[in-house]
Chain A
Amino acid sequence: MKIMNCPLNGPRNISEFTCFGPVHDAFDAQSISDSGWSHYLFYHENKAGIIREWWRHTPSNYFFIAERHTVTDEIVATYSPSELPRTESKS
C-alpha cells in the first residue's frame, strides 16, 4: 500500500488518511464579491503538477499539509499547517 508520512505519526498506510482538497487563499467576508465567493466555493486548483492539499490522519484527527504531484502521485512533502505561508487560509 502507498505510504504517507504524517508529520505527527510518521509513515502510515494511505488508507488511514483523508484528503480535504487543495489549500485555498483566505477570503475577507466583508469585501468578497458574489463571484469571488463562488470561486472560493467551487473553483479549485487542478493543474498537472505539484499541488498543496489539506490531509487528515483519520485515527488521530490530525490535519496537515501535503504537497503532491497530480500526475505521478508522488508525495513531495508533508508538514504542519503552522508552516503554511501567511496569505493562505488555515480553516
Chain B
Amino acid sequence: MPLTLLKYGLKRDHVPHREIPATPDLKRNYDVVIVGGGGHGLAAAHYLSKYHGISKVAVLEKGYLAGGNTARNTTTIRSNYITNQSIRFYKEAVSLYENMSHELNFNVMFSQRGQLTLAHSEATLRSFHLRAEMGKHHGTRISVVDPAQVKEICPHLNMDEGGQHEVVGGLWHEDGGTARHDAVAWGYAAQAARRGVEIHQRTEVLGFDKVGDRVSSIRTSRGTVSVGHVIQAAGGANQHVAKMAGIDMPIRSFPLQAMVTQPLKPFLDTLVSSANLHTYLVQSSRGEIVIGGGSDPYQLISTRSTLDIKEQLAHGALQLFPFLHNVKLLRQWAGITDMTPDYTPIMGASPLRNYWLDCGWGTWGFKATPVAGKYMADTIANERVADILLPFSLDRFEKLALINEMGATAASH
C-alpha cells in the first residue's frame, strides 16, 4: 500500500479511481427514473440493475448524493416494532444489513451491538412485554430485562434509584445495530453505477407530464426525459414531489434535530434509548456520542436548529450518563422528516399506474434502506406491488387500516 501510494503520488497524470462517476448528460428516455438520490433510491437502483437486469435507470437528485436524510439520521437499525406487518418487514431489513458489506463489496461498518430501550414506569414495561412477545413470535432476538440485567448490559447507566426517572426495566433487542450511513449510500451508488445506472446530481424535478393515468415524461432543471416507471423516494421533499405529480399525501413535515459530542474513548457498546426522556445515544466508531431525540413540536419545512431542542437532548443525555457533563458538543444539525399519521411508511402503488411510492419515512427510514430498495425494485420489475409491501399502501388511510407504530418509533411523540 505505501509503495502504491508513493508510485501514484509521484505520477503526474494519474487519474484516481472514481467509485461514483461524474453526472452525465441526460438521455431522452429511461426505463426507470428514481426521484431522490438518497439511500432508498440508490438501493432500488442497485436491486433493479443487479437482480432484475434493468439498468437503463436514472437517479435524479436535487442536491448532492445522499445529502438529505441519509446524511442526517442517527443510523439506528432494529426490528423491535409492534405490528406483524412492520416486524416482518424490518426483520428482513436487519438481515440484509448483516450481509450488506459482502453484497456491496464495500465496508458499511455494520455493528450489531444491540439496542437497549429503557422503561421508567410500569406502563412502559407493559408495552415492552407486548413488543417482546410480538418480536419472539417473528423470530427476532428481543426480551424484557430487569434492572439488574440493565446494569449488566450497560454498567455506566444512571439507574436513578428512587429518583424521578428510575430505570425499572428495559427492552433488550440483540439484533439492533448501527452502520455508517454514507457508506451505505455510496456502496449502493457505486454498485448501481458499475451496472450502468446514471446518477444525476444537482438535477431538480420541476414537473411531470401525464398521459391518462400514466406519467409520460419528467421535466427537470437539466431537460425533459420520457420514462417507463417512476419511483418517488424524495425524503423530506416527498409531499412536494407528490403534489407535482397530482397526488395528495397524508404527510406533514417536521424538523428532526441531532448532535454529536467530541470523541471519547469507547465506553458505550450498545444503543441506549429512553422514550420518556425523548433521548437516545450511540457511540460512533470515531468515539463521538451521537445524541438524538424527538421531532420538533410543530411542523416546519426547514433544517434550522434550535437551542431549546439541544437543551432537551442534553438534559436527557445527562440524566442517563451524568459523567458526560464536561463533554463538549462538536456538531449539531437537522433534517426534514415526512411524518405519516400512523408512524408507518407509504410504499407501493399510487393513483398513477407507473408511479410508485417509497415515502413517509419520517424518523425511521435509514434502517429500511436495503429492504425498501429490494422490494421497490421487485415491484417495478413485476409491475405488481410485492406482497410484503401491500399493508403499507397509500389507500390504507381511506380504508382506515392504519399500522400504528407510534409507540415503537420512540423518536417522535
Chain A residues with a Cβ under 8 A of chain B? 1-2, 14-15, 18-19, 21, 34-35, 38-39, 41-44, 46, 48, 51, 53, 68, 70-73
In the complex with contacts A72-B302, A73-B304, A42-B397 CB distance below 8 A: yes
Given A1-B308, A43-B248, A46-B239, A38 and B298 touching (CB < 8 A)? no
In contact, B240 and A48 (Cβ under 8 angstroms): yes
Q: Are A41 and B300 in contact (CB under 8 A)?
A: no
The size bracket of the interface on B is 20 to 34
Q: Which of B299, B304, B308 lies in contact with A15, CB distance below 8 A?
A: B308
Query: B223 within 8 Å of A by Cβ?
Result: no
Chain A residues in 8 Å Cβ range of B240: 48
Q: Which of B249, B250, B251, B298 has the most CB of A within 10 A?
A: B298
Q: Would you call B297 and A19 a contact (CB within 8 A)?
A: yes
- Are B299 and A42 in touch, CB under 8 angstroms? no
Contact residues in B for A72 (Cβ distance below 8 Å)? 302
**Residues of B with Cβ closer than 8 Å to A?**
239-240, 248-253, 297-302, 304, 306-308, 341, 397-398, 400
CA distance A44 to B252 in the complex (A): 7
Could you tell me if A46 and B251 are in contact, using CB atoms closer than 8 angstroms?
A: yes
Q: Are B400 and A71 in contact (CB under 8 A)?
A: no
Give which listed residue, B298, B302, B398, contacts A34 with CB less than 8 A.
B398
The answer to whether residues A71 and B301 also contact, given A15-B308, A46-B253 and a CB cut-off of 8 A, is yes
State the CA gap A90–B306 with chains docked (Å): 31
User: Can you name the residue of chain B whose Cβ is closest to the Cβ of A14?
Assistant: B308
B400 contacts across to A, CB distance below 8 A? 38
Determine the distance from Cα of A38 to Cα of B397 in the docked complex, in whole angstroms. 6
The A interface, classified by DSSP as helix, strand, loop or mixed, is: mixed
Give Cα distance in the complex from A41 to B250, angstroms. Answer: 9
| A41→B302 contact, CB < 8 A | no
Interchain Cβ contacts under 8 Å between A and B, 23 examples: A1-B307, A21-B252, A34-B398, A35-B398, A38-B398, A38-B400, A41-B341, A41-B397, A42-B397, A43-B250, A43-B397, A46-B252, A46-B253, A46-B299, A46-B301, A53-B298, A68-B298, A70-B300, A70-B301, A70-B302, A71-B300, A71-B301, A72-B302
Residues of the A chain whose Cβ atoms lie less than 8 Å from the Cβ of B300:
70-71, 73
**Residue of B299, B300, B306, B400 with highest tally of chain A CB at under 10 A:** B299
For A2, A34, A43, A68, the residue with the greatest tally of chain B CB atoms inside 10 Å of its CB is A43
Residue of B nearest to A18 (CB): B297
Residues of A within 8 A of B250 (CB): 42-44
CB distance from B404 to the nearest CB of A (A): 13
CA of A15 to CA of B300 in the docked complex: distance in angstroms? 16
**Residues of B close to A2: CB separation below 8 A:** 306, 308
Q: B397 contacts A70, CB within 8 Å?
A: no
Q: Are A70 and B299 in contact (CB under 8 A)?
A: yes
B37 to chain A minimum Cβ distance, whole angstroms, is: 21
Identify the 6 closest CB pairs spanning chains A and B, nearest first.
Answer: A19-B298, A42-B250, A42-B341, A42-B397, A48-B301, A38-B398
- Say yes or no: B302 contacts A71, CB within 8 Å: yes
Shortest distance from the beta carbon of A69 to any chain B beta carbon, whole Å: 9
Given pairs A39-B248, A42-B341, A68-B298, 7 additional interface contacts (CB within 8 A)? A21-B299, A38-B400, A43-B250, A70-B300, A71-B301, A72-B302, A73-B302
- Residue from A14, A34, A70, A72 having most chain B Cβ neighbours under 10 A: A70
